[in-house]
Amino acid sequence: MLVIHAPYGQHRLAPLITSDGVSLAAELALRFGALMACFLAAVAALKVSDVAKWLQSSRLGYKAAYVVGTSLQFLAQGRLVVQAVRDANKLDGVRMRPRNVLSRFIVPVISKLLTQGAQRGEALSAIGFDRPGPRTLLVPLERSVTQSCICILFPLLSAVVVVATWI
């Protein structure tokens, strides 16, 4: 923040440093620190699945819930992929050097993450994630007239049977 905001202001303290730029940078750094503290507290206290459920039932809908849930899970999945690639290199006896870090570490991590993302996209498409309308487990809910009648009449019939056996 200091590098960006310190040079711009009215009251110059030194070359490329102004007092109002420094105060603005300090204020923005404090705000950013508070935001990160809130974010870390929320990550420590909440589970990703709970956040996704809350978002899905909100007015944002299931697509926003999926995007937020996937974004929050990406860091954990990325950490697991990095660890798996490190373990594979260690088992293969490969020593990481600057000349082979791209081919032995970065490319495998990126390709594994892209493959996982593509597989999730195919699975979501298969269960109808992109279809509109009410859903049960992300599949559109279709009821016939008979099913609707059964859903109304069965509880009523059950209540009548319970009352009749009680009397």
Q: Tokens for 78, please give them.
A: 């990325």
Query: Who wins on pLDDT, 80 or 135?
Result: 80
**pLDDT for the residue 81:** 93
- Return the SS3 of 52: helix
Residue 94 scores a pLDDT above 60: yes
Are 41 and 76 within one domain?
Answer: no
Residue 158 scores a pLDDT above 90: yes
Contact between residue 123 and residue 133 where contact means Cβ atoms under 8 Å apart: no
Longest dimension (CA), the chain: 94
Average pLDDT of every residue of the chain: 84
> Terminal CA-to-CA distance of the chain, rounded, Å?
77
Total tally of structural domains belonging to the chain? 3
Say how many CA atoms lie within 13 Å of 18 toward its Cβ.
12
Query: Who wins on pLDDT, 20 or 2?
Result: 20
Rounded CA-CA distance 159/167 in Å is 12
**pLDDT for the residue 140:** 56
Amino acid at position 91, single letter: L
Region 87-112: what's the mean pLDDT? 91
**Across 65-69, 75-79, 146-150, least confident range:** 65-69
Beta carbons within 10 angstroms of residue 19's beta carbon: 13
Are 83 and 121 within one domain?
Answer: yes
Are 85 and 119 within one domain?
Answer: yes
Of 26, 45, 64, the residue at which a domain comes to its end is 45
Are 126 and 153 within one domain?
Answer: no
Region 3-21: what's the mean pLDDT? 90
Region 95-103: what's the mean pLDDT? 88
**pLDDT for the residue 120:** 80
Are 36 and 97 within one domain?
Answer: no
Are 41 and 59 within one domain?
Answer: no
Are 66 and 116 within one domain?
Answer: yes
Are 138 and 124 within one domain?
Answer: no
Residue 130 scores a pLDDT above 70: no
Rounded CA-CA distance 10/33 in Å is 26
- Write out pLDDT tens, residues 13-68: 998 899 999 999 999 999 999 999 988 887 778 887 787 777 777 787 777 777 77
φ/ψ (deg, to 5) at 18: -120, 150
Are 88 and 138 within one domain?
Answer: no
Region 104-112: what's the mean pLDDT? 92
Query: Who wins on pLDDT, 114 or 139?
Result: 114
Structural domain including 149 reads 133-167
